[in-house]
Amino acid sequence: MRLICLLVLILITLLEIGPIPITGLVLMWVVLFRPPWFYELVQKIYNRR
């Protein structure tokens, strides 16, 4: 799971170099639509105490 998150963050970082602000668009989409996969990811991250 960590490897997938890392790869996605690297991909977003590389796409951010272009003229379209990808990170802001992705974050707005997550805030507006609250996809189930994002909630599950947050739960997995914070339940590992």
Confidence (pTM) = 0.54
What is the per-residue pLDDT across 10-39, written as a single tens digit (0 to 9) for each?
888 888 787 878 888 888 888 899 899 988
Distances (CA, A) of 43 to 16, 20, 34: 27, 30, 14
User: pLDDT band for position 9 (50/70/90)?
Assistant: confident
The alpha carbons of the chain give a radius of gyration, in whole angstroms, of: 12
**Which one, of 49, 30, 32, lies nearest residue 40 by Cα?**
30
User: pLDDT band for position 49 (50/70/90)?
Assistant: low
Q: In this structure, what token pair is assigned to residue 37? A: 């996969």
* Distance separating alpha carbons of residues 40 and 28, to the nearest angstrom: 18
